Amino acid sequence: MSVSNDLAAVGIDAISVYVPRLYVDLSAEWARVRAPEQGTDAATLTQKLTKGIGVRRMAIPDAHEDSATMAAMAAKRLIDGLALNLANIGYLVVGTETTVDQSKSIGAYVLGMLSRHYGMSLSHVGCPQIQFACIGTTYALEAAAALVRSGQLRGRSALVIATDIARYPKGDPGECTQGAGAVAMHISAAPRLLELDGLHWPSITVDERDFFRPNWSSEAVVDGQYSVDVYLDCLDRTLRASLEQHRPETAGRLLESQHFLFHTPFPRMAEHAAARLYRRLRALRGPHATLEPTASVREERTRDREVAKSDDFQAWFAKHCAPALRHISDVGNTYSGALYLSFASLVDGLGAAGRGGRVTFFSYGSGASAKLFTGSLASGGGDVLHVAEIAGVLADLDATGTVGRRRALSLAEYERLHDLHQQQSEARLEVAASVLPPRDEFALARFGTERSAQRVDVGYRYYDYVAAPRAVADVTPTARAEASLPEEAAWAQQ
Ligand code: CAA
């Protein structure tokens, strides 16, 4: 069935991914130490993680990284990969639930980094932050797409960036589902990657306590099993809302989709969601083309589990859902980026020649809100229009330390980095030592410490682009000024 758009074209023109260089290997020291704490052995815990939850590694930001630097890095990859002229960008919107400032938009920090790095003023760019747990980036994408489509940006395009650090307390059941990363997307009226379907995307929102983060904490509070139930209930609710508003179009688009992407805090969650959606699509395909009535939460999960075991579902899942999941187990949860990391994985895996077909996105944010929306992948074997290259982003450093980019953390290194964030306060305004000093990346350079008649900046985060690490002795005052290397940078003092 073909469905025509009733509005001007808009969509994702290109996408890029940034993942921190550090990670925890969940099958190594972490499992050996956590297993006895959880009353089990390392082999059983590893099996639970790989088979029951679907995770292998979790990306961890270094001491000089935060959600703003990751966002700027993802944007830089996109800008450099596309040779984008920033003068043609009219809007930069960031979806995050782990921002760096309780007041200022994280987008303004990112804009500042890009503006200084590329040596141009970007003061014409609207730059909000949108927060609603993991669905924030979808609301950001919706806003950016509407602005581009409306012509209000006067021919300019937009950047949408997702950036997040998933952090739970050590020893929490959610600890193994941590992760970090950022995804940047170029949104244009002539999208070369995915054209969004034209209808308004209905939202559903319910005031829930499944997952939240109190203002004083850098770690999320989550009621694990309940959060899974709320997620699946929101999938049902948004499916019903979408069908109620635009029944024939939505049903048509869902039934003809070749790819299904889900918010993926951990890969098995996507499988649970896929089983639920598969049951509903099966009902829609039935003679009465109607949704089956929902039962109790427990009964629904039982039916999902039965379906998930069937050969039909397994084959459908392997073909239509699994290709988007292949990198999540090596990164972990990226909250507002997780759905878009899945999308990048999908297009990266398909390659330019294999692209085409309709994509259904299910976006979910705890607390809780959800949306279903669809788009069409541009087909054809033209230029590579995405700059995802995820395999390169995730490649391990080799023994020489020159090829690849990722390296595993010891448990002690991980726990030090994990605890840093809980310790940040006005009494401790210094950037801690990095595990890997910044190189060719944006980095948190220092915190402001001044409260004088001339300047007040206590706690302000100063960022810089570090081309390569260098020893203090190598950096003359002139070279420091030329490189705009901050005097206080922790890595320069090591
Ligand atoms: N071998 C194979 N499988 C095993 C196993 C073993 N040795 N031991 C256990 N398993 C299986 C279990 O049977 C279970 O499978 P099913 O889901 O199919 O039932 C699975 O492993 C998980 O085991 P538990 O249910 O015992 O898991 P847990 O109590 O450790 O908690 C969790 C799992 C709830 C996901 C927890 O990791 C958590 O709280 N995560 C964070 C919250 C989260 O991500 N929620 C998702 C919805 S909310 C959301 O999506 C927003 C967001 O980004 C946070």
> What is the model's pLDDT at position 491?
39
pLDDT level of residue 479 (50, 70, 90 thresholds): very low
Q: What is the predicted pLDDT for the residue at 350?
A: 87
**Rounded to the nearest 5°, which phi and psi values hold at 187?**
-105, 120
The ligand 1 atom nearest the CA atom of 223: 39
Task: Determine whether the shortest distance from the Cβ of 171 to ligand 1 is under 6 A.
Answer: no
Q: What is the pLDDT of residue 485?
A: 36
**What pLDDT does 7 receive?**
76
CA of 181 relative to ligand 1 center, distance in Å: 21
**Token output for 45:** 């815990």
**142-192 tens-digit pLDDT:** 999 999 999 999 999 999 999 999 999 999 999 999 999 999 999 999 998
319-368 residue pLDDT tens: 999 999 999 999 999 999 999 999 999 988 888 778 889 999 999 999 99
C-alpha 301 – ligand 1 centre gap (Å): 13
Q: What is the mean pLDDT of the chain?
A: 90
State which ligand 1 atom lies nearest to the alpha carbon of 52.
21
What was the pLDDT predicted at 241? Answer: 92
pLDDT of residue 285: 87
CA–centroid distance, residue 176 to ligand 1 (Å): 10
Ligand 1, atom 1, residue with closest C-alpha: 48
Q: Answer whether residue 449 shows pLDDT above 60.
A: yes
What is the pLDDT, as a whole number, of residue 163?
A: 98
402 pLDDT tier (thresholds 50, 70, 90): confident
Q: What is the pTM of this model?
A: 0.93
Distance from the alpha carbon of residue 52 to the mean position of ligand 1, in angstroms = 7
Q: Whose CA is nearest to atom 25 of ligand 1?
A: 225
Model confidence at 487: pLDDT above 60: no
Confidence check: pLDDT of 423 > 90: no
Q: Look up residue 313 and give its two tokens.
A: 């579902």
Q: Cα of 131 to ligand 1 centre, how many Å?
A: 25
Using CA atoms, how far apart are residues 263 and 148, in angstroms rounded to an integer? 25
What backbone phi and psi angles, to 5 degrees, belong to 452? -130, 180
CA-proximal residue: ligand 1, atom 44 (nearest): 265
